[in-house]
Structure 1
Amino acid sequence: MAKTKTHKFDEKLDITYSQYIKDSMEGEVALQRELEKVLGKEKTHKILREWSEKRTVEGLEKFLKDSGVTISNFEDFKNHMNGMWVSGHTPKTHTCETTNNSSDSVTYKVTECIWAKMMRESDAPDLGLLTMCDMDFISAKVYHPNIKLIREKTLMNGDDYCDFTYVWKKEYEFTGHRNSLS
């Protein structure tokens, strides 16, 4: 049986996670800073926030659908999150430990985040907070309307760690589709 040759576009790249993310972020940061100059910081940040929220909701909804992940209760969510922290690229881009795990809350303490490192090195933690860190709150709502994220610290802000405390409260108000913010 003949071996199919891989097209050059599909060949693997010999590059570190740091270099890949740095290369990706440098262009985005430069564009975002140019938009701030042209449109003003306030308008640019409004556009970036709306775009980031839309991308986060659509991306997570697609992931949940395509992967067959269903979050019906808090145990489902915790099982999913616990698996996420130890699979795929996440262990290579974050250092995380669970510091609280109860029936209605779970706290993850992230002491290393490659995106925070790269955005801080690019002198753009404000853009990182806006387009990345703040989206964690949006994601919580997409996973399930009863999940709320509470966070007091972020590496992006220069803190020693990010705290992700997810709580499950049945009384949270939510309008719209279960996995949508619309």
Structure 2
Amino acid sequence: MQEFPDIGILHRRKIEAEIIKPIYEILVRDYGKEVAKAIIGEAVGQAAVNAGKEFAAKEPNGTSVESFVALQHLWEQDDALKITVVENDHEKYDYNVHRCRYAEMYQEMGLAEIGFLLSCNRDSKFIEGYAPHVKLDRPHTIMMGDGICDFRYRLQVENEK
């Protein structure tokens, strides 16, 4: 993600989706939707874990809920997300997304059926790579037809892991 720092994440995801779309279509044709989705999900998920690790390596004092919150502007850039913060402290970061331009973009590109894999699935994978001691619970997503995305990040204490 560091090669083109002036390009926002929303624009990067569009470029990636333009590349992934024909790959996905060929995978569906040759192996079926289930296998195609599994392959795309695994590849994009691993890329998100790796990105999380790259970001973590740049944190001079290690990762925390606070350091993660400080990165959120990257995903919100270009009005990509309209959010309301519910709660934010050193142990948790809760917010709701009311508008998701990522979901809108994948819909417009004809990729709604894998939008979750291209975008939403990255969230839990990124935090896994960035801060394994922070967990994400997000039962609702706009991408899957819900009215909001409800992000709930929690610092895990040793006995909760």
Shorter-chain TM-score: what band? Answer: 0.7 to 0.9
Structure 1: distance between partners of 2:152 and 2:118 = 20
Amino acid at match of 2:21: V
Counterpart code for 1:151:
R
Could you say which residue in structure 1 is the equivalent of 2:38? 46
Aligned partner of 2:155 among 162, 168, 180: 168
Q: Count how many residue pairs are aligned between Structure 1 and Structure 2.
A: 155
Asked if 1 retains the 8 angstrom alpha-carbon contact of 2:21 and 2:111, the reply is: yes
Runs of 4+ in 1 over 4 A off after TM superposition: 16-24
1:90 maps to which of 61, 73, 76 = 76
Shift of 1:107: 0.8
Summarize deviations over 1:103-127 as a string: whole Å, max 9, x none.
5432111122221111122332231
Scaled by the length of structure 2, the TM-score of the pair is 0.77
Gaps of 5+ in 1: 1-9, 174-182
Q: Which is greater in Rg?
A: 1
CA contact (8 A) 2:95 2:151 kept: yes
Instruction: Give the conservation status (yes or no) of the 8 Å contact 1:60–1:139.
Output: yes
Q: What is the CA RMSD across the aligned residues, in angstroms? A: 3.0
CA distance in 2, matches of 1:165, 1:82: 12
Ranked by relative contact order (alpha carbons within 8 Å, sequence separation 6 or more), the top structure is 2
Give me the whole-angstrom Cα distance separating, in 2, the residues matched to 1:145 and 1:24: 26
Q: Report what 1:32 is aligned to.
A: 24
Q: What amino acid is the match of 1:158?
A: G
2:87 paired with 1:100: yes
In the alignment, what sits opposite 2:68? 81
1:148 aligns with 2:135: yes
Q: Partners of 1:153 and 1:109 in 2: how far apart?
A: 10
Amino acid at match of 1:101: N
Asked if the contact 2:86/2:94 (under 8 Å) is kept, the reply is yes
Q: What is the aligned-residue identity percentage? A: 22
Q: Give 1:57's aligned residue.
A: 49
Q: Describe the SS at the equivalent of 1:30.
A: helix
Q: TM-score, normalised by structure 1?
A: 0.70
